[in-house]
Each structure stands twice: as structure tokens, then as C-alpha cells.
């Protein structure tokens, strides 16, 4: 079978690949602790489930509008204004089957082969692979270990130019957990405004898992809304990963373009999930606070444990539910004949011998790091971190 060039360019998601390997080991009877996926272990709040149940009873079973039900888009518009100081009309909003599809719509709508796109590293694996899919020219900014892996205006200025078409980032960040402050975003915005043809894609899916008091959407910075596409969804804040609801707020012509693309790919998002999303978005954001506090406690647990393991160097994340230690100090060490020469080697060693699934940083543009998700119970985190520590002390 001869597959397409697009298929050949695309790599399997590093996170999904490790999750698959973890499931295979579990199926064979191995007690694996999976810290590879970004999936909250909480249940969906009851009021959201009740809204979905009512939607089934009310026969919300027909094709929905491609860009989402009007009342849901109006609720998203109000949410943007309430939480983010953003002013998007309902026509500027497109509801999709998860934020991943939202980003795909953007990339397919705006990028031709050879178009220049800027990614600050570490980045979410899917940004890079979707850009490879359309054969974009990808420029990666490596911020180094300073400033909690956040880029500076000077670093941005060294890369951006009149041909730069798109800049994609997340805050809070997957995979590092870094959060850009308002002052940092304002400083970056001063650079972007010098290059008005470069559209900023701000992935804010983790906005409610922010351990700082400094919450800012770059689109709310003066002069930036017409240059920004804001991406969000319900997977993280409301533990609705399987419901597949994402959305964008964008300049009107871009929103129309994304809706056009979606109309030929999936059409409108699941009708029942949309009715549940309406209930979630109309709720007071404070309903997410207990989950955030639990993630904060888990962060403290994970950071304190990892800091005690020789060879792990890490920043304290300010949001999301990931920590991304540098493990290059372990290169050259070995265990049972397996030498660690990369973060991938270490992640495979941890899975095969400590039975802990983490993700190599290579797919995130951070080859010397591993991503550890703490979206699991404190009991499982303690078990996993003890196993990691026990294996590391045995390295020679």
C-alpha cells in the first residue's frame, strides 16, 4: 500500500504513543502508573451531566450548525468578556470537536506550503505535527532555561519578520506549566504589533488551572484582538476530555474560513455535548476552584519529590498539570545493559523497568527533558515518584 506524502510526514503523537504502550503493558498484567496523558482524573460535574441528560430527553439529535448552536456561541462570547476581557461576537466564534480540531482548522485555513510559522519551545506536540502536515516553514524559538522557559521580546525580535504568518503558543503552557504574566504578554505584544501580518494563536485551554493571580489573554492587550485567535475548550477545566468541545474567538473572516474547513471535515460538533457545554460556560467560574486547588497540592508533591532525585533539574510550574525536568545529567548512565543517551531512552527505561509512563521531550522541542503529568491522584503520584527514584539510584 502506497500512502500519501502527508501521511508520511506526520509522526504519531508522542503522548498518545506512550499512552498506547502503557495500555499494552497493563493489558499484559503489568502494574503501570501512567503519567503521560493530560487528562484530569476528576469526574464531570453533575450539573453538566444533568444538562446532557435533559438534552437527550429533549431530542437534541439533529445536525447542529457547523459553527455551533447560536446560544452556545453567545454564551462563549459572554464568557470571553467575563473571564478574558475579550469582545468577540457570536459570528466570530466557531465550536469544534475539541481544541485540537480548532487549531487544525486554523492551520488549514491560513497556512500554505512554505509559509513561515513561529513556535516557542517547548511546544505542544500537535502544533508542530499539524504544521508539518501542511509543509509549513517552522521557526522554533528556544528560550533556554532562563525565565521558566518563556521567551523574551528580544528572542521574538530575533526571529519574527515580515514573512512570519503565524505564532502559536499556550499559557498556561503544555508541556512546561509556565504562565505568561500580563506584563510579559504586553511586552511581546509590542513586538507583534510591529508585524501586523503575523497572527497570534493563543491556546488558553488550561486557563482555569493557573496557580498565579495574574490571568491574561494576549488578545485583551490593547491593539491585539484583531491580530489574535483565542483557542479554548472544556476538556481541562471541567474534566470533559471525552466530550470533545473546543472553540475559537477570531477575526470574522478567519472564523468564517475555519467554519468552511470544518463544514467539509466533521460538520457541527456533537449536539448533546454542545448542550452540556452551554451549562458549563454559564456556570460561575468558581466551580473549577476545588480542582485547581487539588492540582496545586499535587504540584507541590511532585516538585518536592523530583527535587530530591539526583539528575532531575526543574522549574516550578505556575499552571496546567505538568512538570518538565531536564534529565541530561543522567546521560551516559546505564541500567541492566541499557545506556541512557536521550530523554527517549530514559522514558522507555522508566516504562520497562519502573513501570511508570512519562513522555520524552523530543516531540515537544525539548530533547533533554521529559514531561510528567500530575493529573493523577496523590496516591498514584507517590507510587510513581518512588519507583522513579528507586530506579535512578540504581543507575551506574
Report domain extents, the chain: 5-43+288-392, 61-284
The pLDDT, as a whole number, for residue 146 is 79
Cα→Cα distances 332→19, 254, 307, 313, Å: 26, 49, 21, 17
Q: What does the angle CA 360 – CA 134 – CA 367 come to, to the nearest 5 degrees?
A: 15
The pLDDT, as a whole number, for residue 139 is 98
Among candidate residues 269, 295, 138, the one with its CA nearest the CA of residue 211: 295
Distance in angstroms (rounded) separating the CA atoms of residues 285 and 248: 19
DSSP states along 290-335: HHHHHHHHHHHHHHHHHTTSTT-B-----BTTEE--B-GGGTT-EE
The pLDDT, as a whole number, for residue 186 is 98
SS3 state at 354: helix
Burial class (CB in 10 A: 0-12, 13-18, 19+), 308: exposed
The pLDDT, as a whole number, for residue 19 is 81
The pLDDT, as a whole number, for residue 18 is 82
**What's the sign of the alpha-carbon dihedral 12, 14, 19, 23?**
positive
Cα→Cα distances 47→154, 181, 277, 280, 283, Å: 47, 33, 11, 8, 9
The pLDDT, as a whole number, for residue 81 is 98
Distance in angstroms (rounded) separating the CA atoms of residues 68 and 274: 8
The pLDDT, as a whole number, for residue 7 is 86
Distance in angstroms (rounded) separating the CA atoms of residues 7 and 376: 33
> How is residue 297 written as a grid cell?
497540592
CA 293 to chain centre: 20
Q: Does domain 5-43+288-392 have CATH number 3.30.9.10?
A: no
Q: Could you list the pLDDT tens digit for every one of the 396 residues in the chain? A: 889 988 888 887 777 888 888 888 888 899 999 999 889 999 999 999 999 999 999 999 999 999 999 999 999 999 999 999 999 999 999 999 999 999 999 999 999 999 999 999 999 999 999 999 999 999 999 998 778 899 999 999 999 999 999 999 999 999 999 999 999 999 999 999 999 999 999 999 999 999 998 989 999 999 999 999 999 999 999 999 999 999 999 999 999 999 999 999 999 999 999 999 999 999 999 999 999 999 999 999 999 999 999 999 999 999 999 999 999 999 999 999 999 999 999 999 999 999 999 999 999 999 999 999 999 999 999 999 999 999 999 999
The residues that bridge with 164 in the sheet, in sequence order, are 116
- Give CA torsion, residues 157, 162, 168, 172, to 10 deg: 30
Q: Which CATH number fits domain 61-284: 3.40.50.10420, 3.40.50.300, 3.40.640.10, 3.90.1150.10?
A: 3.40.640.10
Q: Is the pTM of this model over 0.75?
A: yes
Amino acid at each position: 500500500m502506497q500512502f500519501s506524502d502527508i501521511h508520511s510526514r506526520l509522526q504519531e503523537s508522542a503522548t498518545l504513543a506512550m499512552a498506547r504502550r502503557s495500555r499494552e503493558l497493563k493489558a499484559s498484567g503489568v502494574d503501570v502508573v501512567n503519567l503521560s496523558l493530560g487528562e484530569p482524573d476528576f469526574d464531570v460535574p453533575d450539573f453538566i451531566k444533568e444538562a446532557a441528560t435533559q438534552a437527550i430527553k429533549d431530542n437534541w439529535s439533529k445536525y447542529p450548525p457547523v459553527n455551533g448552536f447560536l446560544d452556545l456561541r453567545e454564551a462563549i462570547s459572554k464568557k470571553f468578556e467575563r473571564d478574558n476581557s475579550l469582545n468577540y461576537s457570536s459570528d466570530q466564534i466557531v465550536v469544534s470537536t475539541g481544541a485540537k480540531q480548532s487549531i487544525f482548522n486554523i492551520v488549514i485555513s491560513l497556512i500554505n506550503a512554505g509559509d513561515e510559522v513561529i513556535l516557542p519551545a517547548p511546544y505542544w506536540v500537535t502544533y508542530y505535527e499539524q504544521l508539518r502536515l501542511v509543509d509549513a516553514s517552522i521557526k522554533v524559538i528556544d528560550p533556554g532555561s532562563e525565565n521558566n522557559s518563556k521567551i523574551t521580546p528580544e528572542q521574538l525580535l530575533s526571529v519574527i519578520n515580515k514573512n512570519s504568518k503565524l505564532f502559536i503558543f499556550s499559557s498556561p503552557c503544555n508541556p512546561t506549566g509556565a504562565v505568561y504574566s500580563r506584563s510579559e504578554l504586553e511586552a511581546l505584544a509590542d513586538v507583534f504589533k510591529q508585524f501586523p501580518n503575523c497572527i497570534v494563536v493563543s491556546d488558553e485551554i488550561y486557563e482555569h488551572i493557573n496557580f498565579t493571580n495574574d490571568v491574561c489573554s494576549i488578545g485583551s492587550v490593547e491593539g491585539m484582538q484583531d491580530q489574535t485567535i483565542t483557542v479554548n475548550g472544556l476538556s481541562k477545566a471541567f474534566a470533559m476530555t471525552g466530550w470533545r468541545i473546543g472553540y475559537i474567538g477570531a477575526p470574522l473572516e478567519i472564523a468564517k474560513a475555519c467554519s468552511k474547513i470544518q463544514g467539509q471535515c466533521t460538520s457541527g460538533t456533537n449536539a448533546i455535548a454542545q448542550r452540556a457545554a452551554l451549562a458549563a460556560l454559564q456556570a460561575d467560574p468558581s466551580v473549577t476552584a476545588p480542582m485547581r486547588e487539588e492540582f496545586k497540592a499535587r504540584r507541590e508533591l511532585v516538585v518536592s519529590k523530583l527535587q530530591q532525585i539526583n539528575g532531575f533539574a526543574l522549574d516550578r510550574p505556575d499552571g496546567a498539570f505538568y512538570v518538565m525536568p531536564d534529565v541530561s545529567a543522567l546521560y551516559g548512565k546505564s541500567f541492566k545493559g541499557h545506556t541512557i543517551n536521550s530523554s527517549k531512552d530514559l522514558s522507555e527505561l522508566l516504562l520497562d523497568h519502573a513501570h511508570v509512563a512519562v513522555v520524552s521531550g523530543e516531540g515537544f522541542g525539548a530533547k533533554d527533558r521529559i514531561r510528567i503529568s500530575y493529573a493523577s491522584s496523590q496516591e498514584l503520584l507517590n507510587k510513581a515518584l518512588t519507583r522513579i527514584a528507586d530506579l535512578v539510584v540504581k543507575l551506574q
